[in-house]
Structure 1
Amino acid sequence: MTVEELLSLVNKEVDTTKFKALSQKTINEELNDVLDEFGDDEAANAKIVTKVANRLKRMDGNLHKNVSDEIKKSREEAERKKKEEEERNGKKEEEERNGKKEEEDKSDDKYDKLLAKLEALEKANEERDKKASRAATIEAVRKGLKDKFDKAKLELNDFFLDTAISKLEIPDKDADVIDLVSKAEGIYTTDFKRATGNTAIPHKGSGSSSGGGKTIRDDEWADIIEPQGK
């Protein structure tokens, strides 16, 4: 079975083209991870298709909600501040209109300044949204990598974690968190081995930073990201 054939079967259970948080690259990687599980048992194969379809749907929903919640919170706060600023400026403008006649000649200049302030405020709101989205994505990547190591029972060094995340190219919006987690893991592993000289990541509680560890294989990712008990 090919990835394309498996994707066709999965799309019969859940339309992956409507996913908002997962890229096609990530979807294909997830499908590729379970190809070797298919055999001659049609019933068992059908269960695998249902399982991977549900997992992709759950992954997309969870990632989209985490990022959307942070962006929504930031936008609501920015809109509240903008409304307060507009109300203050509106009162100020009304007082100026009711002022003395000699102040009327200055109204155009004051309007231009007010408009400039509003435009600056809108630009600042946009920048806050970008920063909030970026911060939410970074936190999601950090949590995703920690969860991945925890479920694999491997030690995670915060220094190398921070270093790996700092080397990622984080987009302002529409970030593929799963792809960023995979990239962060690759950077972390490379930096850890280069700095320590170890060939594997140590297990938790091993009491040593050398030996007794392992790297996380790509075929373990599907089991790691799926909630325990499934």
Structure 2
Amino acid sequence: MDLNADLGEGFGRWPLGDDEALLGIVTSANVACGFHAGDPSTMHRICGAAVERSVAIGAQVGYRDLAGFGRRRIDYDPDELRDDILYQIGALEAFCRVARGRVGYVKPHGALYNTAAVDEVQAGAVVAAVRSYDAALPLLCQPGSTLARLAAAAGLTVVGEGFADRGYRADGTLMPRSLPGAVLHDPDEVVARAVRMAVDGEVVTDGGEVVAVPVASICVHGDTPGAVELASRVRDGLAEAGLALGPFTPTG
């Protein structure tokens, strides 16, 4: 089982999250590529540190929305969205090459992630970008989503992702962050959710329903308060459940 977190989401002199500590816990790092967060120097630093620790590097691509942290939906021309995603993957690849690593996968961020989960136009733009850049790159996304379906139909490798620290709705999508219970903070609850998703492939929704979430990677958000403790507890919980931890894609 893979354990991932969003890293490099500060900007300039404003850091966000403890990237160094999380790189010692996770097996895959979703690195912000400068559109919703991040900057060249941060990308350079994170890529070098990830390669040193044999942590897989993923391009965390998002809307061009630094002010909104990529969490506000934007209605794009699909070709423009495709090109924005290509730009971000290429930027991160440059710093990976300097560190003698590689971009190992792609994961949409924030509102793009949630929109592509249900919207065929934006999902199609994400798929088009990945296919045109490198059709061998895995796409990390919600299982059963529109993005997962279109990516699989296009021949891409789809890696199902579950969120240890987020609430789910009955249709398997994430609860909007504006709703109570959308973000989980209790370590015991977060660990139990992660283990259930990893072992049983299911999660309990906000309404109490049990829905299937076949996943190969568990995410703990790097900007969540107490993220380092949560990630460490989740890693320990997965190991205690008998799961071997490792990235789903080569790190070099």
- TM-score normalized by structure 1? 0.25
Hey, which of these two has a bigger chunk of helix by percent?
Answer: 1
Structure with the largest fraction of strand: 2
Q: Which has the higher contact order (CA 8 A, sep 6+)?
A: 2
